[in-house]
Amino acid sequence: MTMSIKQNLRRALGQFPTGVTVMTARKGNELVGVTASSFNTVSLEPPLILWSIDKAAFSADIFINSDYFTVNVLNESQTDISNKFASKGADKFSDVDFENGLGNVPLLNHCIANFQCEVWNVHDGGDHYIIIGEVKKYDYSENLKPLVFSQGQYSSLVPMATLQN
């Protein structure tokens, strides 16, 4: 696929609004995290979720070889955290408020939801790995609004009832 076709496809896919997550894992003392919009539900029984990571990503090997990972669903005020974990280099966890969850995996604070998962399976997905996790613990807040990404920019949700008034 040519670069222009890839860029055009990426733009087309970007029309679909998604929530913004930061996936975290640990290998020994090394903490890794990456911003991802590929998070989705697979099953309620058992409770399974999935997400995907580029095979070329620095942290891909850690994620696919970890026993646990955490899905941190960002709230609308956490664009700085999304940007930090989307960048390369530097200590992504510096100045980020977190605690240790299952498997001592970083659990970011102040998120709209956190899903602590045990790796269930990893599948080949072209240039990405598809990671399926079994949700072992979760937490959420109904008092926060999610951070949304669409058409190349961050957004927040406004309930339709608010717009109709």
> d(Cα 162, Cα 31) in Å, to the nearest integer?
41
Mean pLDDT of the region 58-65: 96
3-state secondary structure of 27: strand
pLDDT tens column, 73-88: 999 999 999 999 999 8
Q: Which long-range contacts (CB under 8 A, 24 or more apart) does 77-80 make?
A: 77/147, 78/20, 78/110, 78/111, 78/147, 79/147, 79/154
The residue-averaged pLDDT of 37-63 equals 97
* 17 contacts 79 by C-beta, under 8 angstroms: no
Please check whether residue 33 lies inside any domain of the structure.
Answer: yes
Report the CATH number that the domain containing residue 134 is assigned in CATH: 2.30.110.10
In a domain, 8, yes or no: no
Distance CA 35, CA 53 (A): 10
- The predicted structure's pLDDT at residue 165: 65
Residue range of the domain that includes 54: 18-153
pLDDT at residue 158 is higher than 80 = no
Interval 84-124: pLDDT, tens: 999 987 789 999 999 999 999 999 999 999 999 999 999 99
User: Is 15 or 163 the better-scoring residue by pLDDT?
Assistant: 15
